[in-house]
Amino acid sequence: DQQVKQNSPSLSVQEGRISILNCDYTNSMFDYFLWYKKYPAEGPTFLISISSIKDKNEDGRFTVFLNKSAKHLSLHIVPSQPGDSAVYFCAASDGSGTYKYIFGTGTRLKVLA
């Protein structure tokens, strides 16, 4: 049962343009969402998070948007840089007493110089 889905396995973007990575979820109990960036053979690095009480959170070049009614979130990177090339995972947790983060399958972003 894939509760967190990233339907685009890969994305290529020109340097300086916007990268938009999408994530859908099925569990309406999820109330906290995170984006992680991962390089090969390294651990996931936390990027940005959003609580379900918000619909937008911004941190520098990274903005996460949450649409609860559509059970959809997206990560915008503006402007994209070659160093942003990595695999991006969205993850979700719920506040109903579970103690885990559910990860999506990841989207490989390639920023072209």
Partner 1 sequence: EPEVTQTPSHQVTQMGQEVILRCVPISNHLYFYWYRQILGQKVEFLVSFYNNEISEKSEIFDDQFSVERPDGSNFTLKIRSTKLEDSAMYFCASSLLPTGSEAFFGQGTRLTVV
Binding site for partner 1 (CB under 8 A): 31-32, 34, 36, 41-46, 49, 51, 89, 91, 93-95, 98-106
Q: Are 79 and 32 in contact (CB under 8 A)?
A: no
Quick one: 73 or 91, whose CB is closer to partner 1?
91
Q: What is the spatial distance between Cα 29 and Cα 31, in angstroms, rounded to a whole number?
A: 6
Q: What is the spatial distance between Cα 99 and Cα 8, in angstroms, rounded to a whole number?
A: 27
Quick one: 25 or 89, whose CB is closer to partner 1?
89
CB of 45 to partner 1, least distance (A): 7
CB of 81 to partner 1, least distance (A): 21
CB of 35 to partner 1, least distance (A): 10
- Three-state SS sequence of 34-73: EEEEECCCCCCEEEEEEECCCCEEEECCEEEEEECCCCEE
Quick one: 100 or 113, whose CB is closer to partner 1?
100
